[in-house]
Structure formats: structure tokens, C-alpha cells
Amino acid sequence: MKTKREDIRNIAIIAHVDHGKTTLVDELLKQSGVFRENQDVAERVMDSNDIERERGITILSKNTAVFYKNTKINIIDTPGHADFGGEVERVLKMVNGVVLVVDAFEGAMPQTKFVLKKALALKLPVIVCINKIDRPEARPDGVIDEVLELLMDLGATDEQLDCPFLYASARDGYATYNEEDEPADMIPLFETILDYIPAPEGDPDAGTQMLISTIDYNEYVGRIGVGKVDNGTISVNQDVIVVNHHEPDKQKKVKISKLYEFDGLNKVEVKEAGIGSIVAISGIADISIGDSICSPDNPSPIKFQKISEPTIAMQFVVNDSPFAGQEGKYVTSRHLRERLFRELNTDVSLRVTETENTDSFTVAGRGELHLSVLIENMRREGYEFAVSKAEVLYKTDENGKRLEPIELAYIDVPDEFTGTVIDKLSQRKGELQNMGMSNGGYTRLEFSIPSRGLIGYRGEFLTDTKGNGIMNTSFDGYAPYKGDIQYRSQGSLIAYEAGESVTYGLFSAQERGTLFIGPGEKVYAGMVIGQNGKAEDIELNVCKSKHLTNTRSSGADEALKLTPPRILSLEEALDFIDTDELLEVTPKSLRIRKKILDSKMRKRGIK
């Protein structure tokens, strides 16, 4: 018989990037007494990975738990970026309700819509928290109307429409029921969670049933499966069977060796757990997302949604440039292979396939950000390798027609740049679907555009809008191929010989375009040292110095003025490279190079 477990609430916090989810979780942790009075707590304590801290984004969903009035509230902080949407879909299977955080100025954004749609489809109740209410330009009433409109557009039920609204400032640590209320603390939010979010229910006397929703990985114990106990109880040393809804043949007997529950930021070992508990299990070697853990007498798998397929792929290759092996610690194909396959332990939206060439691997992901985060992580761990330009993954329909992935791009730009953006995106096969006024002198544009049309566009977009534009995308499905797109209208400046760059050589080179290097840098033949102002590639000798004669002194060079070089970040370099180029990635440097370094061979290849 199904019963409710009143001492537990399971919630997920969902929002668009930068609307303050992680900061809100920090405050809930602080005010529930997880930290000691004098404990030094990092800001955004849930973002544990270095890249998450630097970029201020959440990449992996995190579990934590707080206690309020003898009730345990399990909280899951989810990512807001479209590239990590795979994480969010699965997390929602563990919870009984969501807290939707919306910025009091920006209002409902595309990602808010994407995640909310998933939550409503699972019939989850929603608490809306209007955050950053202390912003001078906050407009809470307008935002509430936007959220209600969005709920209606997404087909919310009457109960879901009748959701509670709270006003909060996560940074200052308070939430209130009404705008006029005196701000004090987070108690209104805690109370609303207890009143409005239903307690988990299940049958405590039935056989064990639990769905694995996320995977954690630890060097010492290997893979750790995290999920919610749906029925029965689960205990240490229990014999269970692993089954999967999408793989009917999978049946594997295993023993539960360790069981953990979450408490604050820690995992605490427990002997057993009942219905509604969110637990972590270690000791099952190849456990994966979507597996159900059941008691042997009745192994029935729990249904779950298939993880969305990757849309974009890159080649990861062993570095074979003249500077190979000088800066990295892990350089061989064995290292590269081990590291990429290890990433599959925790990242379910990633695919790695081996190619005919043992030195090259195809890595497919959900978007450029998804893959660039992996590249940056590997680079920091001491790996050295090269990557090719991102290409989209095509499909064919039953009539043999080529289909390509299409995205919806939502763009907010200051009015004066609207023309440029529409022009650029039309050249990249984008179709304008909608155009309207946004707040504060901004225009909102909605485009339907092939995924490959967005590759390499982000950097150009920021330049065109002087850094004031905001662009968000979400995957919309596959559609017939839209025709060829020219990625780059300008060629590359290529070093002609190996050596060290000198001012004299660079001075004559800078008249041809924009340089990526300064004097005193090591270069090799075939390395890209800048961007040409015209469409073709040019080879230049940047290592040549002036010949000395009786009448010319060596000091004359010092009067030459160089324009500072344009230093590319990882994203900009991935955007810049063309299909015949590679990006050489080492812990210390990023170098762009031609795939074929020898200039004669390269010209033959073109012919």
C-alpha cells in the first residue's frame, strides 16, 4: 500500500543561467545551520569545479540536504546552460516539485522555458521565486505576468497555475511573501516548500525499486549511482538485480557494498534507507544512468526518458606538431584514449568513438560549450593534444534526404545593432521568426537557424554588439539540409619557417592583417600566426631580421612600432579555426596550425 513519508521533501532548483540558483542554495544551507557560526564559507559553495567557479556557471547537478523543523529537504542544484540540458531532464525524476528562480529584471528566458516545460510534463508543482529583488532596475510585477504567460503557453494545469510566488534576494539572504513585507530571512521559502511540495510516496513493504538518475565518480571507489528510493527499503549487503527499461536483456546480480545519504555538503554512510530518500550507492562497477535497482523476486525496471543525442562532433588527435611533447605531461594516444573514456563515466551526453587511425578519436557532445569545458579540463590536468573544427552530426530520413540539427536562437540586442545581427544570421541560413521590443532600449529577436550556422558566431556576435548582446539557444530538432554556409570570409597568415619571431619580421607582417603573436615567440612552418585582411591564406617569414651593412646599425629596429597582438581564448580559437586547420592544445599554450604543415604538400592538396 502506498504511503507518504512526511519527514522528507525532494526539490530541484531550476533557472536560466545567472539568475541566482547556486547563490540561493548557499543561503538555504547557511540558514539551516549546516555551517558553524565561525566557519569560513566560499561563495557559491555548490560550484566545486574550478571552471564552474571561474565562469560562474553550474555544469554538473549537485545534491545537498538541509533540515528544517525536523523535515529533511533534499535540494538539487541544476545547470542552466542548454548544453547541459541532459543533466536537468534526469534530475527531475528524483524530485516531487521544483523551485523556479527568475531574475526580477531579465524575466523569463529561453532556458527557463526549456526546464519548466520538462517539469510541467512530469506534473511537478512549481514554486516561483522572483530573485534579485534588490536590483535598482527590478520590475517584479512585469516578471510575474511573464511567468504566468509562460505557464499558460506551456499548458500548465489549473493547480500548477495557482502556484505560490515569493520575492527574494539570494545575495542578501531573505525571501518574503509580498513585495511590501519587511525582509528578514529565508523562512518564508522553507515554509512554502513544506506546505506546497508534496511528500514523496511509495510502498514501504514492497520489493526494493530505485532508479539511478545521476552518476558521480571517485578515484577510490569508482562509479557512484545516485537516485531516489521509489518502493521498499535498500540496505547494505543486500542482494539486488540491476535492470534497464531500454535494455530488456540486462539483468545483473550485485551486492550493495556502501550506502550514503546527503547531509549538508557531505555524504554520510547509512545502513539502510526507505522510500523517498535520495541515496548514493558505490560498489557496482558499470552502473549507468537509467538503471533500476530491484529486489531479486520482482525485478521490474522504472521507465525513464532517453538522454538527448549529441548534435556536434570534433576530432581529438594526438599532437604531431614540431613542438609536440614539450609542454604536456600526457601526450600519447593511450593517455588520450584513457582520459576520454574516463569522461564517459560521469558525462552521459558525450559520445567517444575510435576511428581507423589509432591516433584520432571522434568526440560528440551537445554544443561548443560542452566540448570546450572538456578541453579546458583536460588541458589543466596536463594533457597535450589537438582538436579539429566542430562539425554537426547529420541524419538521413527514409527517403535518403540529409537532415541537420536546427536551433532556436533568442537574442537581446541594443536597438542600434539589430540590423547587423539580422544580416549576419541571414547569411548563416537563419530565419527570423519573431521580433519584439524588450526592456531598456533592447530588441528581442528569435531565429530558427542550423546548428552549424552558430559555430564560430559567438565571438563575432560580441564584437558586433560591442559586448552588449545576449544570445541563448536551445535545440529544436532535425530539418532538411539548408545549403552551404561560408564560415570565414578571411584567410590565415601562416609562418613560412621555424624559428623565433622578431620585431622586423612582424612589422612587415602586421600590414597584412591581425597578428596573434608578439616578438620572441617560437613558431614553426605551417603555424597560423594571424588573420589575413583578405580571403586567401598568405605565408610570411616572421623570423627574418635586417641585414647589417656599414651604413645600417642594428639599433634601427627599435624604432619600429608593433600593434599589440590579439590573444585568443580557447573559445575564440575554436571559433576561428577552419576545416583545414587544427588547434594545438597544451597546458601552457594554444596554437592554431594547418593540418598539412608542409606548404608544397598543402598546395598540392588544394589542387
More confident: 513 or 184? 513
User: What DSSP string describes 60-112?
Assistant: S-EEEEEEETTEEEEEEE---SGGGHHHHHHHGGG-SEEEEEEETTT-S-HHH
Q: Compute the distance between CA of residue 73 and CA of residue 277 in angstroms, rounded to an integer.
A: 10
**Is position 23 annotated in a ligand binding site?**
yes
Q: Which of 67-81, 225-239, 357-371, 448-462 comes out lowest in average pLDDT?
A: 67-81
Q: Compute the distance between CA of residue 531 and CA of residue 263 in angstroms, rounded to an integer.
A: 53
pLDDT digits (tens, 9 = 90+) for 281-296: 877 777 777 777 888 8
Name the grid cell of 543.
623570423
Task: Count Cβ atoms within 10 A of the Cβ of residue 285 and give its class: 0-12 exposed, 13-18 middle, 19 or more buried.
Answer: exposed
Name the grid cell of 300.
521490474
pLDDT digits (tens, 9 = 90+) for 163-184: 888 888 777 777 788 877 777 7
Residue whose C-alpha cell reads 520482482 in the numeric block: 298
User: What DSSP string describes 342-381?
Assistant: HHTTT-TT-EEEE-SSTTEEEEEESSHHHHHHHHHHHHHT
Res 111: pLDDT: 62
Q: How many residues does the chain have?
A: 607
Confidence of residue 363 (pLDDT cuts 50, 70, 90): very high
- For residues 560 and 504, is the Cβ–Cβ distance under 8 A? yes
CB atoms within 10 A of CB 522: 16
Res 36: pLDDT: 40
**Is position 21 annotated in a ligand binding site?**
yes
Task: Count Cβ atoms within 10 A of the Cβ of residue 353 and give its class: 0-12 exposed, 13-18 middle, 19 or more buried.
Answer: exposed
User: What DSSP string describes 254-308?
Assistant: EE--EEEEEEBTEEEE-SEE-TT-EEEEE--TT--TTEEEE-TTS--PPP-PPPP
CB atoms within 10 A of CB 125: 19
- 202 closest CA partner among 176, 226, 229, 172: 229
Mean local confidence (pLDDT), 462-479: 78
- 593 closest CA partner among 526, 518, 540, 531: 526
Confidence of residue 557 (pLDDT cuts 50, 70, 90): low
Give the Cα-Cα-Cα angle 346, 14, 475 (nearest 5 degrees): 70
Mean local confidence (pLDDT), 257-266: 76
Res 38: pLDDT: 42
Q: Which of 164-173, 184-193, 335-344, 551-560 comes out lowest in average pLDDT?
A: 551-560
CB atoms within 10 A of CB 560: 14
- For residues 66 and 45, is the Cβ–Cβ distance under 8 A? no
Confidence of residue 362 (pLDDT cuts 50, 70, 90): very high
Q: HSE, CB side, 13 Å, CA atoms: give it for residue 542.
A: 33
pLDDT digits (tens, 9 = 90+) for 583-598: 999 998 889 999 888 8
- The bridge status of strand 431-437 relative to strand 513-515 is unpaired
Q: Is the pLDDT of residue 55 over 60?
A: no
- 422 closest CA partner among 451, 444, 392: 444
Name the grid cell of 489.
570570409
**Is position 133 annotated in a ligand binding site?**
yes
Q: Which of 122-126, 341-345, 367-371, 547-551 comes out lowest in average pLDDT?
A: 547-551
At residue 585, φ and ψ (nearest 5 deg) are -115, 120
Of all residues in the chain, the percent with pLDDT exceeding 90 is 3
Residue type, 381: E
* Coarse DSSP helix, strand, coil percentages of the chain, rounded to the nearest 5 percent: 25, 35, 45
Q: Which of 26-40, 67-81, 392-406, 417-431 comes out lowest in average pLDDT?
A: 26-40
Mean local confidence (pLDDT), 81-100: 70
Q: HSE, CB side, 13 Å, CA atoms: give it for residue 275.
A: 19
Name the DSSP letter for residue 496: -
Give the Cα-Cα-Cα angle 399, 401, 407 (nearest 5 degrees): 130
Confidence of residue 387 (pLDDT cuts 50, 70, 90): very high
Q: Compute the distance between CA of residue 106 and CA of residue 201 in angstroms, rounded to an integer.
A: 37
The pTM assigned to this predicted structure is 0.69
SS3 string, 212-229, reads EEEEEEECCCEEEEEEEE
- For residues 287 and 242, is the Cβ–Cβ distance under 8 A? yes
Mean local confidence (pLDDT), 393-415: 84
**Is position 18 annotated in a ligand binding site?**
yes
Q: Is the pLDDT of residue 550 over 60?
A: no
**Is position 250 annotated in a ligand binding site?**
no
